[in-house]
Amino acid sequence: MKTSVLFPGAFLLCVLAAANTSWAAFLFDAGIKAAYEDNINGSPADAGRVGDFYTTLFVAAGGYRVVTEEKTYAVLRGGIERYSYNKYNELNAVIGTVSAGLYHISGEVLTSYITVKAKSKDFEDNNRDSRSLGAVVEFKQRLTDAFWLKEAYEYEWNDARSSLFTYGAHSAGIWAGITAAPRTFFGLGYSYLYRRYDDASHNTSQSHTISAAVEYKLSRRVYVSAGYDRQFSDVSSPAATYTDNIYTAGLTYSY
């Protein structure tokens, strides 16, 4: 990994400066997440599966302000994530993100959020180093005080140092959440990811993921979470189909 983590760090500093001066409200999140994948190497055979444990440290900050009186808000955010793997050290990374978007409230049920974002990715394996651009469209329906649905679509172009890791990606998903108690939240979801790589063979990969999560508020701004993902993946070269189980636990401070 290169030592030039100043680029993602500059994202966060710029957002902090903007949010503290000209923006109406300040946003801040920080935390740690631990995860274990039981088939991180993507083996189609049970005998070849290799698991790995990794942690993610993250911090994000931003701000928002009213754009129109019709409940439309401009949102600016920036953040840094640090991934540390136990075995697959080539996946260790520092990722910086900056995003800008519009958030709109339509009545008491529907909200929509359109975001554009840029990322700087610095890996232990320098061939994976990249810059990416993308856009996200989200819709959320709060059907009752305790139950909501959310749908999202995202496109990302990831321009890596090596064409083996350069790709265009489309992802879409739907999630449902319920507040079961004043401090307890449960969620279920499904997501689909398709990538087409820019190598000579234009290889592709796709995955279907079923997710379950639970969150518990320890205080007004601190909560713990746990999650489980069951992932079904197909890759074109070498042609293979495999599954992966991902277990996560985290602690987050949100302001």
Domain architecture of the chain: domains with CATH: 6-254 (2.40.160.40)
Q: What is the pLDDT of residues 146-178, one digit of tens each?
A: 999 999 999 999 999 999 999 999 999 999 999
pLDDT at residue 13, as a whole number: 52
Distance CA 155, CA 151 (A): 14
Q: Which amino acid is at 171?
A: S
**Kind and range of the H or E element at 241?**
strand 239-254
pLDDT at residue 25, as a whole number: 83
For the record, the structure tokens of 152 come out as 């999202």
* Phi, psi at 13, each rounded to 5°: -65, -40
Mean of the per-residue pLDDT values of the chain: 91
Distance CA 208, CA 234 (A): 9
Q: Which amino acid is at 107?
A: G
DSSP assignment letter at 221: S
Q: Which residue has the tokens 């400066």?
A: 17
pLDDT at residue 3, as a whole number: 42
Contacts of 163 (CB under 8 A, 6+ apart): 197, 198, 199, 200
Tell me which of 23 and 62 has the higher pLDDT: 62
Contacts of 108 (CB under 8 A, 6+ apart): 142
Distance CA 48, CA 38 (A): 11
Q: What is the pLDDT of residues 201-232, one digit of tens each?
A: 899 999 999 999 999 999 999 999 999 999 99
pTM (global) more than 0.85? yes
What does R_g of the chain's alpha carbons equal in angstroms? Answer: 19
For the record, the structure tokens of 237 come out as 């070269």
pLDDT at residue 69, as a whole number: 74
Degrees to nearest 5, angle at CA 157 with 97 and 23: 30
